[in-house]
Structure 1
Amino acid sequence: MKKTNAMRILDGLKIPYEAKEYDDDGEHELAKGAAERTAEKLGVAPESVFKTIVFRTDSKEIVVFCQSAVHEINLKKARNACGAKEVTPVKQEELLALTGYVRGGCSPVGMKRKFRTFIDSSVMSQEKINISGGQRGIQLTMTPADLVKACDAEVVDLVLE
């Protein structure tokens, strides 16, 4: 497996992780069971798979949220976390230029620039979590604390109830 930028960053930070390859079917929508399929392919619990969502605030700041892939993000909680009046998802065609990653392969680790990052507090109930490795079909498994450290992230409640 070729090292991704996310892996190189984790190596540089001396953060242990396990890289896992899986067959990516190109379907990355929560409503269509993407988390469950990814978890099944990896042999892990669906709630341990965390997705990365990139938003633009009303002040044009780019912010990153990591949310368990079995839950939807609560936009009100996301706005409160980053102090914005509005947040809108970055358009798919902008994602690569902004982050260096494509949809379905967007990792919170190793983006082109450092953006403020928020991780849902459910992460702390997991022994290990799985995030995109920076390429479709690659997931990285690590401890929640190591992900928080690698992203210099804030842990906040983001779950839609």
Structure 2
Amino acid sequence: MIKTNVMRILDKMKVEYGAITYDKKDDKIDGVSVAKKIGRDEKYVYKTLVTMGSSKTIYVILIPVREEIDFKKAGKATNEKKIEMLDLIDLQKYTGYVRGGCSPIGMKKQYKTLIDKNAVNIEKVIVSGGKIGYQVEINVVSLRGIVDGQFVDLIK
């Protein structure tokens, strides 16, 4: 198996994780499709959303793939008047990742990261491995430490 940059970072930090691959040939790379492909319950598979506040600050938000972000809750958690998704055209510029392969681990910069509060009830979550076709399963407390994340209410 190819090691992604995310996996190399986790190896260097001596963080235990499980590497998971999936077939990307059908171009179904959304979180729900990925959860089905890897045979995991959607509540354990988290998507990485990159957002921008009205102050032009970037925020990374992790929520289960089936859920929808509540922008009002996210704005309150970040003390922003308004928060919205980063334009897809800017995703790689700010994170180093492309849509479908955006991991909260190993972005170009460490952005404030918010993790949906329901993750505290889960031992391990699955997030992008930093490349389309790759996921990593990681202890949620370890993930929070790596990304310096906060658990907050983020979903509708």
TM range (shorter): over 0.9
- 1:96 corresponds to: 92
Q: Secondary structure at the match of 2:107?
A: coil
Superposed CA deviations along residues 1-41 of structure 1, whole A, max 9, x for unmatched, are 2222211221222110011110124345xxxxx43321121
Moved over 6 A (4+): none
Identity %: 40
- 2:23 corresponds to: 23
- Residue of structure 1 aligned with 2:47, choices 47, 51, 58: 51
Kindly report which structure 2 residues correspond to 1:29-108, keeping only aligned pairs within 5 A, or say none: 34-108=30-104
> Unmatched 5+ residue regions in structure 2?
none
Distance 2:63 2:32 in 1: 14
Is this contact kept in 1: 2:28–2:34, CA < 8 A? no
Q: Secondary structure at the match of 1:59?
A: coil
Superposed CA deviations along residues 66-125 of structure 1, whole A, max 9, x for unmatched, are 001111011011001111011121111111111000001000000001101000011122
Is this contact kept in 2: 1:26–1:104, CA < 8 A? no
Tell me whether 1:134 sits opposite 2:155 in the alignment: no
- 1:150 corresponds to: 146
Distance 2:28 2:69 in 1: 19
Distance 1:149 1:26 in 2: 32
TM-score by length of 2: 0.94
Count of residue pairs brought into register by the alignment? 155
Distance 2:119 2:27 in 1: 25
2:8 is aligned with what amino acid?
Answer: R
1:88 is aligned with what amino acid?
Answer: E
Across the aligned residues of Structure 1 and Structure 2, the Cα RMSD in angstroms comes to: 1.2
> Unmatched 5+ residue regions in structure 1?
29-33
